[in-house]
A and B are shown apart, each in its own frame.
Chain A
Amino acid sequence: MDIFLQQIINGLVLGSIYALVALGYTMVYGILGLINFAHGDIVMVGALTALSVIAGLAGGAVPAPLILALALFAAILVCVALGVSIERVAYRPLRRAPRLAPLITAIGVSILIQYTAALIWSKQYIALPEIIRPSQFTLAGASFTDLQLFIFVLACGVMAGLLWFLRHTRLGKAMRASEQSPDVAGLMGIDVNRVIAFTFLLGSALGAVAGLMVVLYYGIGHYFMGFMLGLKAFTAAVLGGIGKVNGAVLGGLLLGLIESLASGYIGDLTGGVLGSNYRDIFAFLVLVVVLVFRPSGLIGERAADRA
């Protein structure tokens, strides 16, 4: 039982990280109908920026919490600048172009960011200097750290904050209006360009937070780390219903749980025929099944025709 509980905890934490990244995908998709493939790489840039700041300040006179705050600040700054300029330079000129064009551009931007990062940070794995030691807790035989708990609470908190923001603030309402019909929103006096830029700003800032969490949790960074993470987070967003903020978190947590439980039990359930290396296949299988029965994801509404 303690092992099962441990797998659930593993899954929830992994899922929270997916969820944090998935929020960035889902927000942009909600407004632009664009899958921003570069988002995973923005997370990577955030992670590596934070890593550099921590590595630069660790061991000095600066106290650890201040280092973390500075790392978070630097990561958010870099990611927001990157995200907003990507939108301005690469996506805005293509807003009225056929849908395929921005999609391919997104993939191109993703590759551009990856290899620029490889030039800046080299292609090596970078280790995080140990500046904080997460304290360990034990619950019914399963152990977890305060960092894990924090990541989980953070993902849920960010989701709640976003939902509130979208429902109750002026800007949030403007975002929802732009989502429903950019043209009509423009006629109502909403500056759609600014709203979209703000969406990228918010998504990139969340990406920076996710990046810092990944670095703190795994203690390792790499220029290619955004690719798989982005793919998984995108899957999570689709699973939950892309365009829906709560869908992204639900999808992320579910995907994390599926992966964790599949790694843990798939070998026993199939009598050793399928090993833990099949966990990704299992995760994508669940996605396919969900999409067959609910094409717009678990809590997505039937997608309205946007074209």
Chain B
Amino acid sequence: MNRTRYLATGLLLVAALLMQGCGKEEPPKPAPKAEAPPPPPATVVKIGSAAPITGPQAHIGVDIRNGTQLAVDDINAAGLTIDGKKIKLELVSEDDEANPTKATTVAQKLVDSKVVAVVGHFNSGASIPASKIYSDAGIPQISPSSTNPKYTQQGFKTTFRVVANDDQQGPVGAKFALEKLKPKTIAVIDDSTAYGQGLADTFEATAKAGGAKIVAREHTTDKDTDFKAILTKIKGRKPELIFFGGIDPQAGPMAKQMVELGIKAKFMGGDGMQAQNFIKLAGNAAEGAMASMPGLPKDQMPGGAKFLEKFKARFNAEVELYAPMGYDAVFVLVEAMKRANSTDPARFLSEIGKTDYKGVIGPIAFDDKGDLRNGPITIYVVKDGKWETLEVVTPGGPPAAAAAEAAKAAEPVKK
């Protein structure tokens, strides 16, 4: 009896140790290049990258990390000299698991490892708590993808983003919907995260102002897979359009369950849904779903074709979503360092706001809050199992203005 007990304890311990060993291996560090580094006298400057590298959103996080890695490699290959010193950039990649709590830990870790700037985080819910830590340390943070308006509205000098925010994305989506789909009744669902709720709120507000009737506002979580109950309720309200503020692991099963319940309404969402994974998870039910996405379509970006090719050659993977934004963010930082003639964040931070850079995603300039000026937004639709470009909208551009007029015209109808 005693011996078996020892055996059992031993087995468990070995299993636990094995687990731990494997666990440590887990955060996949960018593969070190095989070639020997260039001759020594180069100052190493560290740039942080923070995104979910594991978990349900890992595909998007890895995409961002690869984009930033590519930029760092390109800059190192071309050679960078600032203030007469040769500079070698080094990417420090951290995994925030899309978890707000983990994001602050990771942020502190990056600050402690003396990075001069951070490209990240992916989720608004992670970027916002982390931004306080970067701000306290005086380190600039450029998010490639966080679209919640609050991120740049906290009064921090260090927060920037190279993507349109939800104040722009939600309304653009709503205006597009009102104009093109002309739904009289809309149901709105969000996933109770900072991103999903923010997007759904701005969509709802614009749609309401535009004269559509919001017949249901429902909430789920970013871990749920059963939406039958809220969808059934929505079915009873007979909306012509269902808008979901959330990401593809929920949007996929949701689209599927809509078909199962016999809901005929059109399905629309934001950038979190505009991923290959959505189509994979939803199967045939994905057909006809629409999603808005900040930025130009990959192939319409000024530097798009070349970037896609380079990315594919380096990582043997298609660009998922935000790799080009991550790529450009690194260049924006380096350009600012060049103008300030320093790699000290205290000196080049003020230069980031003055950025006027022609990147892969198009012209990049920031407003006084650190938001991207005139970020274009693209509406995509699923056709034959693929996301296809439906329309490109620039906030303040003609289609939006037309929608505003339409909204005015519809005003008297509202109660």
Contacts and interface: CB of A to CB of B under 8 A. Distances in A.
10 contacts: A89-B12, A123-B58, A124-B56, A130-B284, A143-B262, A262-B229, A263-B230, A263-B233, A264-B233, A277-B221
B281 A219 contact: yes
Interface string B331-365: 00000000000000000000000000000000000
B235 A6 contact: yes
A11 B219 CA distance: 18
Nearest to A7: B232
A263 B226 CA distance: 11
A244 interface: no
A225 B56 contact: no
A219 B228 contact: no
B230 A125 contact: no
B281 A127 contact: yes
B228 A130 contact: no
B396 interface: no
A127 B252 CA distance: 9
A6 B56 contact: no
A137 B228 CA distance: 16
Contacts of A263: 218, 229-230, 233
Given A112-B15, A145-B260, A220-B281, A276 B219 contact: yes
B16 interface: yes
* Nearest 8 Cβ contacts at the A-B interface: A263-B229, A3-B236, A277-B219, A10-B228, A260-B229, A264-B233, A93-B5, A6-B232
Nearest to B228: A10
Nearest to B229: A263
Interface residues of B, number: 44
A199 B283 CA distance: 39
Interface of B: 4-5, 8-9, 11-12, 15-16, 19, 22-23, 54-56, 58-59, 192, 217-221, 223, 225-226, 228-230, 232-233, 235-236, 249, 252-253, 256, 260-262, 277, 280-281, 283-284
A67 B144 CA distance: 43
> Is chain A's binding surface mostly helix, strand, loop or mixed?
helix
A25 to B, nearest CB: 20
Contacts of A112: 15-16, 19
A150 interface: no
Nearest to A229: B225
B8 A279 contact: no
A247 B315 CA distance: 54
A124 B280 contact: no
A89 B5 CA distance: 8
Interface string A135-155: 010100001010000000000
Contacts of B249: 125, 220, 222
A208 interface: no
Contacts of B226: 14, 218
Nearest to B97: A123
A145 B260 CA distance: 8
Contacts of B262: 136, 138, 143
A134 B59 CA distance: 30
A277 B192 contact: yes
A138 B235 CA distance: 15
A163 to B, nearest CB: 28
A14 B228 contact: yes
Contacts of A179: none
Contact of A220 (B19, B253, B284): B253
Interface string A243-269: 000000000000000011111110100
Contacts of A93: 4-5, 8-9
In this complex, the member of B12, B55, B228, B281 whose beta carbon has the largest number of chain A beta carbons within 10 angstroms is B228
A180 interface: no
A116 interface: yes
Contacts of A164: none
A44 to B, nearest CB: 13
